[in-house]
Amino acid sequence: MRAYTFTQPRGVREALADAGTDTAFLAGGTTLVDLMKLDVVTPARVVDINRLPLRGITLDRDGLHIGALERMSDVAADRNVRRDYPMIAQALELSASAQLRNMASIGGNLLQRTRCGYFRDVTTPCNKREPGSGCSALTGINRTHAILGTSDACVATHPSDLAVALVALGTDVHLVSGQGTRTVPLDTFYTLPGSTPHLENVLRPGELIAGITVPRSMWAANSVYLKIRDRQSYEFALTSAAVAVEWRGRTIRQARIAAGGVGTKPWRLPAVESALAGQPATADVFEAAVSAAADGARPLSHNGFKPALLRRTLVRALTVLAESR
Amino acid sequence: MNPNDDDGQGRSGVARRSVLGGGAAAALAIPLLQGGAPAAQAAPVAEAASVELVTVKVKVNGKPVTVRVDPRVTLLDTLREELELTGTKKGCDRGQCGACTVHVDGRRVLSCLTLVATVDEREVTTIEGLARGDVLHPMQQAFIERDGLQCGFCTPGQIMSAVGMVQEGPARTDDEIRERMSGNICRCSCYPFIVDAIRDAQKVMR
């Protein structure tokens, strides 16, 4: 691991002072320490932010507010989250392992880096790690890689389950920097790789996630997160579906849907949402609505199964949700 | 496996670790704590020399200790190389196998991905801190009775993780035990007996 200067500030202002392109903020460390050991991430300064007051899981008229330093396990166990936003608790509990969930923060989860094996291997070209060096996954082992939002420069998936659920629910992310605070929809917080896959979001150098707000809605309480993977536990998604529905009797008044494991960012599916609005919850409706879910997909040599798996994942999630009413 | 074999203070007085501890391990401790990585991947000396050490005050198995360390050093390396608590194992060192599981403030975490600087003013419990004198923790006893190990390398992590799991709330089914223990890999594949041991132990744990 490369040498870095290390500070443990107690206040946000202190933490942000002098923070820039060479700075890494350390919370749970489950991504950062791992990638520093691999020489994939080599900050000159590490700021331990665990003493900052970015805590709290509260529910009010506006929705659910979660401080960036809350741990995955604590959010998953929160009574309000489990009752009013079940897919958030499910996405968290289907992530990583119990030890990692006890460590990893919500802010860090949203910023975790891809699990593309070439990104993690400094001996191979990777545009995300080393801009301009090329993409090894395009012609390499790419079974787990993305089919949506890809470019010739990068086909890496975004690994977070939580982010998929949060994007489906229209979550806002609150950012703080030396220049002040701003709020950005999580969906547009993430950027597509294009020709600059090393840039994954709109976070500016030295800017920090302070927390998130998940709005109140008529659908969040009727939601499910379904994750399909190579083994039953402790594995990243091949595909996943975050589905929330507002019901009117047996009819879908409106739905909110996003997919994971398939996109270079959490993948909202507005066309599927529109196709479901006002429709009865039947198998035929589900099949028809998801038929276009993978339109525009660019499967790679090893992941041609993903478009069909995505459609089936969505149908099953909708079916599970309809049957649980 | 005799639980005392590897703790450096076996009652025989000639435990494997105490033999090693006087030689190779002690020699390793100094470059490790200043260089921040095992010898095989040690940082260049010149780079290491510029690193400002941090002081960490932490309670380990109830005992207050103070260490001065390179800020790159993990809790795992500090436990093993500085404090000679070698019950905690280094498996993958990448947060994937669970062998390094310890408790920080009562929660099970991976010590290989925890920088020791971040446990300043906190409490750490390792496998060495589970027994009460000569009385094994119910989870340790259950692993012995159910034969929940072969080579034993993953066992301290399995046991620390299992104790943490039960403290979070007992599992209702074997499937739930498997799911909640999925962060601990056993290369000998003793999973059925590990599940048996946890099912037994959670009946007597409070």
Each residue's pLDDT tens digit, A240-299? 999 999 999 999 999 999 999 999 999 999 999 999 999 999 999 999 999 999 999 999
* Residues in A touching B43 (Cβ below 8 Å): 1-3
Residue B46 is predicted with a pLDDT of: 43
Q: Is residue B157 a part of any domain in this protein? A: yes
Q: Are residues B145 and B122 in the same domain?
A: no
Mutation target vs A (from B107, B125, B176; most A CBs, 10 A cutoff) = B107
Residue B2 is predicted with a pLDDT of: 42
Check CB contact under 8 Å for A29 and B179: no
* DSSP assignments along A170-190, one per residue: T-EEEEEETTEEEEEEHHHHB
Of the candidates B102, B129, B156, which is a domain's last residue? B129
CA dist B166 and B175 (Å) reads 14
Q: Is the pLDDT of residue B203 over 70?
A: yes
A325: confidence class by pLDDT, cuts 50, 70, 90:
confident
Residue with tokens 């000569």: B134
Q: Is the pLDDT of residue A201 over 80?
A: yes
Supply the CATH number for residue B91's domain: 3.10.20.30
CA dist A273 and B166 (Å) reads 41
Q: What percent of chain A has pLDDT over 90?
A: 99
Residue A18 is predicted with a pLDDT of: 87
Residue A227 is predicted with a pLDDT of: 98
Mutation target vs B (from A33, A92, A99; most B CBs, 10 A cutoff) = A99
**Per the structure, how many domains does chain B have?**
2
CA dist B20 and B86 (Å) reads 11
Check CB contact under 8 Å for B37 and A8: no
Q: What tokens does B64 get?
A: 């207050």
* Residues facing B70 on adjacent strands: none
In order of A18, A45, B65, B138, B159, the CA distances from B131 in angstroms are 47, 40, 20, 9, 12
Residue of B95, B180, B184 with shortest CB distance to A34: B95
ipTM, interface predicted TM-score of the complex: 0.97
Check CB contact under 8 Å for B95 and A100: yes
Q: Is residue B146 a part of any domain in this protein? A: yes
Q: Is B122 on the interface with A (CB under 8 A)?
A: no
Check CB contact under 8 Å for B72 and A8: no
* Residues in B touching A52 (Cβ below 8 Å): none
Element at B163 (helix H, strand E): helix B155-168
Q: Is residue B73 a part of any domain in this protein? A: yes
Is residue A41 within 8 Å of A33, Cβ to Cβ? no
Q: Is residue B183 a part of any domain in this protein? A: yes
* Residues in A touching B178 (Cβ below 8 Å): 233
* DSSP assignments along A39-98, one per residue: TS---SEEEE-TTSS---EEEETTEEEEETT-BHHHHHH-HHHHHH-HHHHHHHHTSS-H
Sign of the torsion angle spanned by Cα atoms A147, A151, A157, A161: negative
Q: Are residues B37 and B125 in the same domain?
A: yes
- List alpha helices for A191-267, DSSP H: none
- Contacts of range B44-52, beta carbons closer than 8 Å, 24 or more positions apart: B47/A2, B47/A3, B48/A3, B50/A3, B51/A3, B52/A5, B52/A6
B51: confidence class by pLDDT, cuts 50, 70, 90:
confident
Report the Cα A299 to chain-centroid distance in Å: 21
Residue A316 is predicted with a pLDDT of: 98
Interface A-B, measured as beta-carbon pairs within 8 A, has a size of: 92
Q: Are residues B36 and B122 in the same domain?
A: yes
CA dist A53 and A12 (Å) reads 8
Q: Are residues B49 and B151 in the same domain?
A: no
Q: Are residues B75 and B175 in the same domain?
A: no
DSSP state of B67: E
Q: Is B20 on the interface with A (CB under 8 A)?
A: no
Packing angle, helices B155-168 and B138-145, rounded to 10: 130
Q: Is B95 on the interface with A (CB under 8 A)?
A: yes
User: Mind telling me how many Å the CA of A101 is from chain B's nearest CA?
Assistant: 9
Check CB contact under 8 Å for B179 and A8: no
* Residues in B touching A5 (Cβ below 8 Å): 52, 71
Q: Are residues B189 and B115 in the same domain?
A: no
Q: Is residue B169 a part of any domain in this protein? A: yes
**Higher pLDDT among residues B165 and B51, named by residue:** B165
Residue with tokens 């594949």: B189
Structural domain span for residue B188? 138-204
Q: Is residue B31 a part of any domain in this protein? A: yes
Is residue A167 within 8 Å of A268, Cβ to Cβ? yes
Mean pLDDT of the region A230-235: 95
Q: Are residues B125 and B162 in the same domain?
A: no
Q: Are residues B94 and B122 in the same domain?
A: yes
Check CB contact under 8 Å for B109 and A99: yes
Residue B37 is predicted with a pLDDT of: 41
Of the candidates B112, B129, B146, which is a domain's last residue? B129
Residue B49 is predicted with a pLDDT of: 55
Q: Is B89 on the interface with A (CB under 8 A)?
A: no
Average pLDDT score, chain A? 97
Is residue A99 within 8 Å of A175, Cβ to Cβ? no
User: Mind telling me how many Å the CA of B187 is from chain A's nearest CA?
Assistant: 16
Q: Is residue B10 a part of any domain in this protein? A: no
Q: Is the pLDDT of residue A38 over 50?
A: yes
In order of A41, B25, B35, B39, B43, the CA distances from B50 in angstroms are 20, 24, 10, 18, 11
Mean pLDDT of the region A139-167: 98
Residue with tokens 């002040």: A180
Mean pLDDT of the region B58-75: 98
CA dist A17 and A47 (Å) reads 10
Q: Is the pLDDT of residue A175 over 70?
A: yes
Is residue A188 within 8 Å of A202, Cβ to Cβ? yes
* Residues in A touching B95 (Cβ below 8 Å): 30, 33-34, 100
Residue of B nearest to A48 (CA): B118
* Residues in B touching A108 (Cβ below 8 Å): none
Check CB contact under 8 Å for A26 and B109: no
Supply the CATH number for residue B159's domain: 1.10.150.120
Sign of the torsion angle spanned by Cα atoms A32, A38, A43, A44: positive
Of the candidates B81, B97, B129, which is a domain's last residue? B129
Mean pLDDT of the region B56-68: 98
Check CB contact under 8 Å for B179 and A96: no
Residue of A6, A34, A232 with shortest CB distance to B113: A34
* Residues in A touching B71 (Cβ below 8 Å): 4-6, 46
Q: Is residue B3 a part of any domain in this protein? A: no
Domains of chain A are 5-48 (3.30.43), 223-323 (3.30.390.50)
Q: For chain B, what is the largest distance between any 2 Cα atoms, rounded to a whole number of angstroms?
A: 55
User: Mind telling me how many Å the CA of A118 is from chain B's nearest CA?
Assistant: 16
In order of A138, A185, B179, the CA distances from B124 in angstroms are 44, 39, 25
Is residue A136 within 8 Å of A213, Cβ to Cβ? no
Q: Are residues B123 and B21 in the same domain?
A: yes
Residue A171's contacts (CB-CB under 8 Å, 6 or more residues apart) are A185, A186, A212, A213, A214, A215
Q: Are residues B97 and B157 in the same domain?
A: no
Q: Is the pLDDT of residue B147 over 70?
A: yes
Residue B22's contacts (CB-CB under 8 Å, 6 or more residues apart) are none
Each residue's pLDDT tens digit, B77-105? 999 999 999 999 999 999 999 999 999 99
Residue A54 is predicted with a pLDDT of: 98
User: Mind telling me how many Å the CA of A36 is from chain B's nearest CA?
Assistant: 9
Residue of A29, A37, A232 with shortest CB distance to B118: A29
